[in-house]
Amino acid sequence: MGYARVSTDDQDLRLQRAALKEAGCKRTFEWKTSGVKCDRLELVKMIEQLRD
């Protein structure tokens, strides 16, 4: 599993997606939000999946 995040809508997740795929990630969680926000919902979802 992998997690990709960018801070603004102007930024792109393509490079992160490619790197995660190359690393062997079969499932990725993505989030577009400011770094100021502390509630990274997709990161929480990924961590919950890892616990299962």
- C-alpha span between 13 and 8 (Å, rounded): 10
The catalytic residue positions are: 7
Which alpha helices (DSSP H) does the chain contain, by range?
Answer: 14-22, 41-51
- C-alpha span between 2 and 27 (Å, rounded): 6
